[in-house]
Amino acid sequence: MIVEPRQWIRRHPRGTDSTLAVLLFGITLVSTTWEQPPYVHQWPPLPALVVCAVSAGVLLRHRRHPRLTVIVTTTCSTVLGALGPTLGYQFGSTVASTALAALVSLAWRTDQRTTGRYSAVCVLPLLAASAARTSDGIHVQPDEVGLVAIVLLAAAVADSARSRRDYVAAVEARAELAERTREDEARHRVAAERMRIARELHDVVAHHITLAHAQAATADYLLASRPDRAGPAMSHLIPTLATALKELRATVGLLRHNGHEGPLEPAPGLARLPALLASFAHAGLTVHRTDDGPEQRLSPGVDLTAFRIIQEALTNVAKHAGTPAARLHLTHTGDLLTITVSDDGPPRAVADTAAGYGIIGMRERARAAGGRLRARPKTDHGFEVIAELPTGTAHPAGPSLTDREDVR
């Protein structure tokens, strides 16, 4: 099985370091046996062998202590350069190969400023050792310039590779963050859509099933006491169930909506309020409606919100109030619509728990439209729901209403 070199190096860092140290030890040691022009003329001197071994051994610590490794290997290379004239070999870049490898490792693991400083720390001693072997130390020799160039080039190449690695890592991190943010936004939108559909399903089911239950109970009672009046009561049950099935089908159809098809019918609004009140009347709940102020034009979202709040509030009266009558009061004042639904039934608590999501859904609808909603028992008896909704077409959920919301 063929393994890429990069993968093998990442998986075996100790083996890589050991191989590199042995290789550089051999190169440095062989360099102490050469003479110009390059040919082997002697065995490696013992002092040079010891210094080469120390330098290669220190190189094994370049991952944990890169700065100290550069200093020690540079010192060893400088010592080899100073011993060259005495031990009979020429000082060159191959003698300083261990120091070059340590400097490259430092540039790969640190920043540009640190690389520049330690490049100077490496170059100056090596240049001094190279110049000391010449009889005329005033004139700069070509091999001295070459040694400096090789050291600086190695540091520059390693620093450039590190900069590119950091840039690629930063780009990948930004891409990952953008992808994670996009996924979070998608989950948030899905959750918001689920809540919206859940509210629609709750309003449709609670309203129509409550009416159907009331109408069926009335018909059952009349069959025993007044059979002649049971027929008209039963006649209202089928349209109620048909309407419930139609709205359920439309709401569930939103889950299959692909974005290219339009809605099957306009969303309900206050224009359908007379039909809504008539459906409650057929179920045995008489709603007395009053209006104050000139009727204002509502945005589609606020119109739907107002209709659903009235529908849910009257459904709660039919289910929980135990009274045959309710009051609906609409107040139009400037850019504000106030809806008040009240009854005179026995006192009851606010159903804000998992057992009753009606008031929770009404409050969420009011907040989404930029308004607020209060649901509370009346001081004497009965219960009331008060919703304040802005009538404009572009009203965000401003703090003037929602921040001062009285949930009771």
Q: Which are the contacts of 4, defined by CB distance < 8 A and separation ≥ 6?
A: none
- Contact between residue 60 and residue 17 where contact means Cβ atoms under 8 Å apart: yes
Q: How far apart are CA 277 and CA 281, in angstroms?
A: 6
Place of tokens 């649901």: 375
Backbone phi, then psi, for 314, in 5-degree steps? -70, -35
- Contact between residue 88 and residue 46 where contact means Cβ atoms under 8 Å apart: no
How many helices (H) and strands (E) would you count in the chain?
Answer: 13, 7
Query: How far is CA 341 from its chain centroid?
Result: 42
pTM: 0.47
Backbone phi, then psi, for 403, in 5-degree steps? -70, -20
Residue-by-residue pLDDT tens, the chain, 408 positions: 445 677 777 787 888 888 888 998 888 888 888 776 666 777 888 988 999 999 999 989 888 899 999 999 999 988 988 888 888 887 777 888 898 899 999 998 888 888 888 888 888 888 888 776 655 544 556 666 777 888 888 888 888 888 888 888 889 888 888 888 887 887 887 777 777 777 777 666 666 777 777 777 777 777 777 777 777 767 777 777 777 777 777 666 656 555 544 445 566 788 888 988 888 887 788 899 999 988 888 888 888 889 989 988 888 888 887 788 999 999 998 889 999 999 988 766 555 433 456 788 888 888 888 899 999 888 778 899 999 999 865 444 444 454 444 433
Q: How far apart are CA 121 and CA 71, in angstroms?
A: 8
Tokens of 155: 């540091």
Closest CA to 102 of 54, 53, 157, 59: 59
Peptide bond into 37 cis (omega under 30): yes
The full 3-state SS of 314-343, as one line of letters, equals: HHHHHHHHCCCEEEEEEEEECCEEEEEEEE
- Contact between residue 389 and residue 306 where contact means Cβ atoms under 8 Å apart: yes
